[in-house]
Amino acid sequence: MPRKLDFENVPSLDDVLKTNSLFLELVLNSRLLCGAECSVHVDVCRSYAWNRLSLRCLIYSLKFDSAPVSASTELGWQHYNVKVCPTTIPNGAINLSGVFTPGTTSNATCDFGYGTISGQITAACNAHYQTEVSDTCHPLIMDAALGRPSKESTTIMSSNPASVAVDGNRDTNWMSGSCTHTSFGDPTPWWRVDLQRVLYIITVRLLNRGSDSTGIDSSGRLKDATVNTGNTTLSITTPCGFFAGPGTLGQLVTINCPPYTVGRFVKISIVTEFLTLCEVDVFAIAP
């Protein structure tokens, strides 16, 4: 059975839109029958017009623009849009191709630069034509790690300390001095950053070492990397994610933490060889 649609009267419409979106034309004895025909074509119909003099019923695939248009004064026409819930949410959009009518639910996506703590948003159209959302699109702090205090288990060269992984320089050439590198004989290399406040950690990105002017490809060293978070240096044990690798030259590895991951510190650990990181980005949401 087709879903029953509700309609709202609109005073006029754009004749260009009428021409471009006409889906079906019929002759029907009443305006209600014309609306019922729109409901039959629920996946297409977004508006209809019915003429009380000629009894013409026109079904359109776009909704009417209610801006006054002088050409719409033709005698006898009545114009109706399918009544829907708002299809935008604050700082986000609903992923729905069909019509957003009461009882309909849809996933939604936050705009670039925004994110959710729960990891997803469901939007529902209620009986009052209001859009209800299960979560909020919060502003993402996209530079949560930039310039923050950092530390690593060992450092191979004092010219490339832990801090160059959060220096904002995304050069992946080791010789540029923008990549960290743990030292020889380190059995459990790690690197960590102190965000200096407890945040919801949404995403951690690792920028891997790229083509070096030394001619050496060391990109495969980034493998079996564990990303954890925690509130103190002694308890960085909350799992965010894992990158099996091996990494490729200059690869930007994106690790999305589970919903509700909280922490002040972010730590990256591997179990073999050297840990080399050219930049670490932390996307976070303030509590």
Question: Which CB atom, from 279 or from 281, has the smaller least distance to Ca ion?
Answer: 279
* Cα 148 to Cα 142, 234, 267, distances in angstroms: 13, 18, 13
Q: Does 208 bind Ca ion (CB under 5 A)?
A: no
CB of 80 to Ca ion, least distance (A): 59
Closest CB to Ca ion among residues 178, 208: 178
C-beta of 186 vs 279, nearer to Ca ion: 279
Q: Choose the binding region for Ca ion from 72-80, 161-169, 196-204, 266-274 (rule: CB under 5 A).
A: 161-169
279 binds Ca ion (CB under 5 A): yes
Q: Is 167 in the site for Ca ion (CB under 5 A)?
A: yes
Token pair for 94: 């609903």
Where in 172-201 is the site for Ca ion (CB under 5 A)?
A: 178
**CB of 49 or CB of 277, closer to Ca ion:** 277
Q: Which residues does 158 contact at the CB level (< 8 Å), separation at least 6?
A: none
152 binds Ca ion (CB under 5 A): no
Rounded to 10 degrees, the C-alpha dihedral 209/212/216/221 comes to: 0
Is residue 169 at the binding interface for Ca ion, with CB under 5 A as the rule?
A: yes
**Residue with smaller CB distance to Ca ion, 168 or 239:** 168
The residue among 164 and 240 lying less far from Ca ion, judged by its C-beta, is 164
The verdict on 281 binding Ca ion (CB under 5 A) reads no
Q: Shortest gap between Cβ of 166 and Ca ion (angstroms)?
A: 7
Mark the segment that binds Ca ion (CB under 5 A) among 19-27, 67-75, 145-153, 169-177.
169-177
Positions that interact with Ca ion (CB under 5 A): 164, 167, 169, 178, 278-279
